[in-house]
Structure 1
Amino acid sequence: MALSGTDLAKQLAGYKSVDDHVTSGMVVGLGTGSTAYFAVERVGQKLASGELKDIICIPTSERTREQAESLKIPLCTLNEKSVLDVAIDGADAVDPNLALVKGGGGALLREKMVEVMAKKFVCIVDDSKLCKGLGPSFALPVEITPFCHMHTLRTIAALPEVAGCKAELRLGNVATGAKKDGDKPAVTDNGNYIVDLFFETPIKDVRAAAKALKNTVGVVDHGLFVDMTYQVIVAGKDGSCRVAGQGGDKPWW
Structure 2
Amino acid sequence: MDPKLAAARAALRYVRDGYVIGVGSGSTALTFLAELAKVITSGSLTNVRLVATSTETEYEIVKLGLGDLLRYPWQVNAIDVAIDGADEVDPGKNLIKGGGGALTREKIIDYWAREFIVIVDETKLVGKIPSTHPIPIEVIPYAWPIVKARLEGKYGGSAVLRYSPGKRGPVVTDNGNFIIDYRPGVTLNPTEGEVDIKLIPGVVEVGLFSGSRVSRVIVGRADGTVTEIA
TM-score when scaled to structure 2? 0.94
Deviations 1:62-94 (A, max 9, x none): 110011111222111111114111000000000
Q: Which residue of 2 aligns with 1:99?
A: 94
Q: Which residue of 1 aligns with 2:62?
A: 69
Structure 2 residue matching 1:79: 3-state secondary structure: helix
Deviations 1:116-150 (A, max 9, x none): 11010000000000011101221110000011321
Deviates more, 1:100-109 or 1:128-137: 128-137
Aligned equivalent of 1:197, options 175, 182, 205: 182
RMSD: 1.5
Q: Which residue of 2 aligns with 1:136?
A: 131
CA-CA distance at 1:165 after TM superposition: 2.5
Amino acid at match of 2:11: S
Corresponding position: 1:168 with 2:163: no
Deviations 1:97-121 (A, max 9, x none): 1010000010000000011110100
Aligned equivalent of 2:170, options 180, 185, 193: 185
- Larger RCO, structure (CA 8 Å, separation 6 or more): 2
CA-CA distance at 1:236 after TM superposition: 0.9
Aligned equivalent of 1:215, options 174, 178, 199: 199
* Alpha-carbon distance in structure 2 between the residues aligned to 1:164 and 1:183: 28
Mapped contact 1:142–1:196 kept (Cα < 8 A): yes
CA-CA distance at 1:156 after TM superposition: 2.3
Give the number of the structure whose residues are more often helix, by fraction: 2
Structure 2 residue matching 1:232: 3-state secondary structure: strand
* Alpha-carbon distance in structure 1 between the residues aligned to 2:15 and 2:134: 31
Structure 2 residue matching 1:148: 3-state secondary structure: helix
1:220-235 matches, within 5 Å, as: 220-226=204-210, 227-235=212-220
Q: Which residue of 2 aligns with 1:250?
A: none
Structure 2 residue matching 1:50: 3-state secondary structure: coil
**Identical residues among aligned pairs (%):** 33
* Alpha-carbon distance in structure 2 between the residues aligned to 1:198 and 1:57: 34
Structure 2 residue matching 1:156: 3-state secondary structure: helix
* Structure 2: gaps spanning 5 or more residues: none
Corresponding position: 1:47 with 2:40: yes
State the aligned residue count.
Answer: 227
* Structure 1: gaps spanning 5 or more residues: 174-180, 246-253
